[in-house]
Amino acid sequence: MAFEGLADRLQSTIKKMTGKGKVSEQDVKVMAREVRLALLEADVNFKVVKEFVNNIRTRAVGAEVMESLTPGQQVIKIVKEELTALMGGEQSKIAVADRPPTVIMMVGLQGAGKTTTTGKLANLLRKKHNRKPLLVAADVYRPAAVDQLKTVGKQLNIPVFEKGTDANPVEIANEAIQYAKEEHLDYVIIDTAGRLHIDTDLMDELYQIKQNLSPDEIFLVVDSMTGQDAVNVAENFNEQLDITGVILTKLDGDTRGGAALSIKSVTNKPIKFIGMGEKLDQLEDFHPDRMASRILG
Ligand code: GDP
């Protein structure tokens, strides 16, 4: 299960604080050290850890313990609130354009789950929000990518706009938006090219698409299993494209959780959705408070 190590360590640390009355300074010192180690082990960015532990320490020292709570429970409450804040606080909603269609650009490195997530997002918008999406195949370098999106569209019975691999991605996307207007479709979700690594050509191309389309959302798809790398990738894409949100995939795996805990504070962009499996209905809204509860049991 994701976050297992972190969850175990935080829970056992806090369980040790069983005394009554005020949270003692000694308690806080021990707890802060353990929380710090637990977060570093979970591959959370070290700057994020430092700030997080400082916040907890400040809040926990001398915190008046509510009568109904033991000091341990009081500290759990503080840690839970801080974890929630760290992951973005409120749940972040998806944009809706004043005039349809809402245009979403999906970006990310190859293998992160971009194409699968493009389909999942269309499925979620249709099922949960009652919207009519259009998928757009704008990865013109790999015929396999176009085919993969077509297969996803067929599985979901959602239309896919494609022009093979000869057209230019900006043209494809513009035509797709026009098509969506004619067909009264309200979300256009563009699957852009991915690469194994970040390179200038890729970023230039994505930037061109962004400049030409002014999308309502730019979602970066990152693989939560890659930990610190996911955070670096997010930082890089955000610098170049000013993304609007992150979709974290593979949270069903045994990720240590560092990406989920670091991305918001490193990029200042919210995690909007999480991928919880390979199936096309396994995309969920991301709720920072629920994730914090899951980690703390
Ligand atoms: P792309 O290269 O970024 O377009 O990646 P794909 O969409 O082809 O996905 C790469 C692999 O990751 C595929 O085997 C997907 O089934 C898998 N995948 C995507 N999202 C998830 C997820 O949330 N959980 C799991 N377990 N696998 C996922």
ipTM for the predicted complex: 0.99
Summarize the annotated binding site for GTP as residue ranges.
108-115, 191-195, 249-252
Rounded CA gap, 195 and 233, in Å?
Answer: 12
Decide: 112 in ligand 1 pocket, CB within 6 A.
yes
Place 18 in a pLDDT band, splitting at 50, 70 and 90. Answer: low
How many A from CA of 116 to the centre of ligand 1? 6
Q: Which atom of ligand 1 is nearest to the CA of 282?
A: 23
Q: What is the pTM of this model?
A: 0.94
How many A from CA of 77 to the centre of ligand 1? 35
pLDDT in tens, 229-268: 999 999 999 999 999 999 999 999 988 889 999 999 999 9
Decide: 169 in ligand 1 pocket, CB within 6 A.
no
Nearest CA to ligand 1 atom 5: 113
Decide: 113 in ligand 1 pocket, CB within 6 A.
yes
Choose the residue to mutate in 1, 116, 148 for probing ligand 1, maximizing ligand atoms within 8 Å of C-beta: 116
Please give the average per-residue pLDDT across 97-119, as a whole number.
96
